[in-house]
Copies of this chain bind each other. A is one copy, B any other.
Amino acid sequence: MDRIYNRIAGQSLERIAALSDGVFAIAMTLIVLDIRIAAPWQVHSERDLWLALVALGPRLLMYLVSFMTLGIFWVGQQTQLNLFARSDRTLSWIHIAFLATVTITPFSTMLLGQFITFRIALAIYWLNIVALGATLLWSWSYAMATGLGKPDVVDEATSRAMVRRIVVAQVLYALGAALCAFSTYLAIAAIMAVQVGYALGLNWGGHRTRAPG
């Protein structure tokens, strides 16, 4: 029986990684599809085109924010999968749930790009980030509870660092989103600041070698 388990589980980790790379690749590319000149037939001069492109500013901004979001969570999921020795049916479903939150990103990105001054749009975008972090945290907690981690690699310290890092990131995102009380632009700027910090590998309560993002 174990032989079946291990074979299926072994495959699973690879298939989860392959499906995830596909979903991330598509989500990263689709968020660009929405950046298009609204009324091309009204563009008659270089100046018209320039103004039309300037009008795309909010969407270009949201594309940057979402590309970083997806990049951070892609690295985060990859780091987890690299620390797992095997998978099981429940872990597969947790990652399918994680991928569901990834596929929602193009929707919340388009919404905020379209209605960048609306708090509801920002709230939905923030909830999307919360869902991305929550499913990733769920994945790690489940894997630790069921001993799916690589025994010779994952110790208590690593585990605590992973959890702390995700929690701290989410707290920072929440504080950033809260700034929409003053201005949605301010909130987006704050979220971007947190993302750039993670992309650059600044460690707020995380340990570099296992940085989940």
A35 within 8 A of B: yes
Complex contact B21–A24 (CB within 8 A): no
A29–B107 CB distance below 8 A: no
Residues of B close to A100: CB separation below 8 A: 28, 67
Interface residues of A in 71-92 (CB under 8 A from B): 71, 74-75, 78-79, 81-83, 89-90, 92
Instruction: Tell me if A's interface is mostly helix, strand, loop or mixed.
Output: helix
Q: How many copies does the complex hold?
A: 4
Interface centre among A12, A23, A83 (most CB of B within 10 A): A23
A143 to chain B, nearest CB (A): 15
Residue A152 contacts which of B3, B90, B150 (CB distance < 8 angstroms)?
B3
Interface centre among A3, A96, A201 (most CB of B within 10 A): A96
Chain A interface (Cβ < 8 Å from any Cβ of B): 1, 3-5, 7-8, 11-12, 15, 17-19, 21-33, 35-37, 40, 43, 46, 49-50, 53, 67, 71, 74-75, 78-79, 81-83, 89-90, 92-93, 96, 99-100, 103-104, 106-107, 110-111, 114-115, 118-121, 124, 150, 152-153, 199, 201, 208-211
